[in-house]
Every structure is written in C-alpha cells, then in structure tokens.
C-alpha cells in the first residue's frame, strides 16, 4: 500500500501522516523533515535553504528521487508537498490525499509550533509557498494549486485531526477491499 499525503505548511500533514502510518502498520517518510534536516546540516534557516534551492534544482531532485525510490517499495505513507505528483509521474498505484487548510489557521498552527507570532508565521508561510510554487513550476512544470490528481481532499481548517485520520483510514481500507 502507498498513501501520499500533501498539503501546505500547517495543514496538518505531519500529525495525520504519523497516525495513519501507525494505525495501518505502514512506514512513514516525511520529505519536509528531510528538507529541514538538509537546511540544518548546511547551517542555514529553512527560508535561506529554500532560496538556495531556487537556484539549485539538484536539491529538490535528490530529495524527490529518494521519496520515489522509497514509494516504489510500498507499504509507506509518503508525506511531502509533491508526494501525490511524484507517485503520479512514476505511475505508482497510490491513494493520493491533499489536506487543505485556511492560510490564517495554518499560520496560527505554524506560529504555535515554531514559537512565532501568527503574523510572522503567515508572512513566512507566504514566502515559503511562493518559493516552492515557483520552484516546482520551473523544475517540474507542476502547479501546486492543481489538486486534480488527488483521490481525496480533506479540509483540516476546523476538522479535528482524529476525524481527518478516520476519513483517510476509511479511504485506504476501502481501497484494500476493492
């Protein structure tokens, strides 16, 4: 089984992915954590690393290659902004999920998680998303606003994580029985 989980920062993908993977007995691979780790290893902030990645497509391509390689093995919840697109382009059978969330709520969550003011988090999210949107368009021809490839779109703005998780588990187990 391959489940891809994608969404913008603060939408809840990490919270949901960890629990879905645990409940289904699957591995969990988080592209965002890998990206943050790479930034930390270089001794730069996430925003600075994103700017570096804008000029060096090798950063994104290496990360994405690792994600596709693991997705090919299966039995994983693959969490990244492009996870659904990567599975689609690699012609992998997957349950592709997009988690949507209002940008103000996402900023509140990111601010709380990272210890920032929500207004600062909103600005940082907007800058990060613009950078990623441009990189993915330039490098891959992917428009992150195009959600047509997803099998399930869940709105986490006011839906509690447990309810989002239940929706995904239901979709995943229905796919097993089909």
CATH number, position 86: 3.40.50.300
178 located within any domain: no
Helix (H, G, I), strand (E, B) or coil at 158: coil
Helix (H, G, I), strand (E, B) or coil at 10: coil
15 located within any domain: yes
Domain of residue 162: give its range: 2-173
110 located within any domain: yes
Total structural domains within the chain? 1
Q: β-pairing, 27-30 with 76-79?
A: parallel
20 located within any domain: yes
How many CB atoms sit inside 10 A of residue 39's CB? 19
157 located within any domain: yes
List the chain pLDDT tens, one digit each, 178 residues.
999 999 999 999 999 999 999 999 999 999 888 888 888 888 999 888 888 988 888 888 888 888 999 999 999 999 999 999 999 999 999 999 999 999 999 999 999 998 999 999 999 999 889 988 988 898 899 999 999 999 999 999 999 999 999 999 999 999 665 4
Q: How far apart are CA 14 and CA 47, in angstroms?
A: 19
Q: How far apart are CA 134 and CA 47, in angstroms?
A: 14
């Amino acid at each position: 089984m391959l489940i891809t989980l994608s969404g913008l920062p603060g939408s809840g993908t990490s919270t949901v992915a960890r629990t879905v993977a645990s409940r289904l007995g699957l591995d969990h691979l988080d592209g965002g954590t890998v990206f943050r780790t790479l930034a930390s290893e270089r001794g730069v902030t996430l925003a600075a690393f994103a700017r570096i990645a804008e000029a060096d497509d090798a950063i994104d391509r290496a990360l994405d290659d690792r994600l596709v390689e693991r997705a090919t093995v299966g039995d994983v919840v693959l969490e990244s902004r492009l996870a659904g697109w990567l599975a689609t382009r690699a012609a992998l059978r997957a349950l592709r999920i997009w988690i949507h969330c209002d940008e103000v709520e996402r900023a509140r969550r990111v601010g709380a998680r990272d210890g920032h003011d929500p207004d600062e988090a909103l600005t940082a999210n907007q800058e990060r998303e613009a950078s990623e949107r441009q990189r993915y368009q330039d490098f891959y021809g992917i428009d992150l606003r195009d959600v047509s490839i997803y099998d399930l779109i869940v709105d986490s703005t006011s839906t509690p994580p447990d309810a989002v998780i239940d929706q995904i588990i239901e979709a995943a187990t229905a796919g097993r029985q089909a």
